[in-house]
Structure 1
């Protein structure tokens, strides 16, 4: 299977375990430097499952950009990643003793994915789109619109900037074969401001998913946090419970879940089998500190 991921390639500076601040300095258990960003996390996950992978992203002409390229090469992933005048994007990720993560991001070059186009999309079996800037989203829509035919499955996992403007998201949302969101994002996209939980019951999640469908044949994947997940195939919902594991860090759990599901789904797995693979993938990631299992960045 040929997988192409599109989105951010950044450096995660992960700090754990962070306590409420007292004084000017706090000792922590760990500070590490890792590759991150939705496109990189998804690429590493599906490459480990046997897919051939290309990453479309953007980094700066700096040490951090070189480290990301080197890591992808070590994992057999093709990097369609031009250098940019802006520095490689970075995020400082603070993880508390419950595993909850809070990120402070400087997008840098990662906001300019697709400025030079998206060569080679026609060779993909799956094009997996992670969070994009609105500029990058426009460039992607133009690339998709220029295609006489689309041989690949298009999967969209929107980021915060896209979710902030659902009208702008419609271009890729309308074309997606699969839209992946969490419950609160689903509610936001359909204009429902009554949802007060990350883990609504399956019937509520299915009702949200049904409202998200923009065209016949489109499928929706809704993650429900500790409540599990629901895949809506366009006709019916398929629910799967979450695995109960102690969380070391929640960063990257969404990327691990969605990319594993898509890999299994695109390979012909039944919904329950794909959801089970995704659940196991997310459970593995929340038991490690970084957002993927590639290990630290190193020269």
Structure 2
């Protein structure tokens, strides 16, 4: 099947985010008083689709919502951002839900209730076979059932971007089709443990990248929070530094990174070029509250990495301070 140049198809989750702001996160068993509660569209899949569309990619969302009132909220910014939502179906029951708690420093915790996303099985994905097969880039995450992810990976004829977050058990053949696999350092260790059961999992980021590639993953991007990202493509490994910005809310910035990465790859960028762009998109996003509404368009000016910052992250093992004023790509 011919791939449509520049097109991105996201197969994944749609949620409504209940965003609670607090001064600080509660300790186990503790009660704190929230500052505010907001209902916003979310879900890793929908977030990534909005991010890709706002960065210029012709983007299609494949997923499910429930037959409740939350469905309209979940799809509102997809349509507004130009995402084709003809592939978003409706099933009986609730739309996916995420409770996001954000503290005064912009750090967040997230609890997800799958709802309709839990019914994105292989049979449902199969209904969109021609759309998935025709995309230049297919983006997947870990918020739908494993068999749905596996079927989407099989249907993809273009580049497969697998953001295995959260980490769920997939067949090794599915993970090895990822080009790239995008994970943070903790997720990278879990994925490598699944690919090499019984073997010792390395601790350093460079060793994790090497281990994943040795296990058969063609290319890997490890997001490193304030330090940006580590990109491995073939024999080349590069540290991509993050611009220093004042973080307001890190919710969904990792999804902004993934969507922007997919859009740049679909437009013909190399993986390293795409990651450099995506890190800047992540830095833009954390300076604003919310998830999808904070994502930049092509008209927005993205923060840049200074020459000094670039040299400070020049090796795969580089490690810089991770204060909240420098957060760009949350892990």
Query: Shared topology, TM-score over 0.5?
Result: yes
Segments of 4+ in structure 1 off by > 6 A? 22-25, 214-217
Contact 2:13/2:64, CA 8 A, preserved across alignment? yes
SS at 1:73 equivalent: helix
Match of 2:50 in 1: 44
SS at 1:184 equivalent: helix
1:137 matches 2:146:
yes
SS at 1:181 equivalent: strand
Contact 1:59/1:110, CA 8 A, preserved across alignment? yes
1:261 matches 2:261:
yes
SS at 2:234 equivalent: coil
Measured on the aligned residues, the alpha-carbon RMSD in Å equals 2.5
SS at 1:278 equivalent: helix
Contact 2:25/2:101, CA 8 A, preserved across alignment? no
1:81 matches 2:91:
no
Change (3 A) 1:27 1:210: closer
Change (3 A) 1:20 1:100: closer
Match of 2:286 in 1: 286
Equivalent of residue 188 in structure 2, options 186, 189, 201:
186
Partners of 2:25 and 2:188 lie apart in 1 by 32
Match of 2:125 in 1: 117
Contact 1:56/1:113, CA 8 A, preserved across alignment? no
Change (3 A) 1:288 1:36: same
1:74: how far off?
2.2
Match of 1:198 in 2: none
1:216: how far off?
6.5
Partners of 1:229 and 1:77 lie apart in 2 by 27
Match of 2:17 in 1: 12
1:169: how far off?
4.3
Match of 1:232 in 2: 232
1:263: how far off?
2.0
SS at 2:93 equivalent: coil
Q: What's the CA shift string for 1:11-62, capped at 9, x where partnerless?
A: 001111333569977251x322111111111111111111111111111001
After TM superposition, list the pairs within 5 Å mapping 1:174-213 onto structure 2. 174-191=176-193, 195=203, 204-213=204-213
Contact 1:174/1:214, CA 8 A, preserved across alignment? no
Unaligned runs of 5+ residues in structure 2 are 1-5, 194-199, 296-331
TM-score, length-normalised on structure 2?
Answer: 0.76
SS at 1:125 equivalent: strand
Contact 1:14/1:289, CA 8 A, preserved across alignment? no
1:175: how far off?
1.7
Q: What's the CA shift string for 1:159-183, capped at 9, x where partnerless?
A: 2251xx3xx3424202222100111
Contact 1:173/1:214, CA 8 A, preserved across alignment? no
After TM superposition, list the pairs within 5 Å mapping 1:148-187 onto structure 2. 150-162=156-168, 165=169, 168-187=170-189
Partners of 1:86 and 1:141 lie apart in 2 by 24
Q: Size of the alignment, in residue pairs?
A: 277
Per mean C-alpha deviation after superposition, the further-off stretch among 63-72 and 225-234 is: 63-72
Contact 2:10/2:62, CA 8 A, preserved across alignment? yes
Unaligned runs of 5+ residues in structure 1 are 196-203
Partners of 2:136 and 2:21 lie apart in 1 by 38
Contact 1:245/1:283, CA 8 A, preserved across alignment? yes
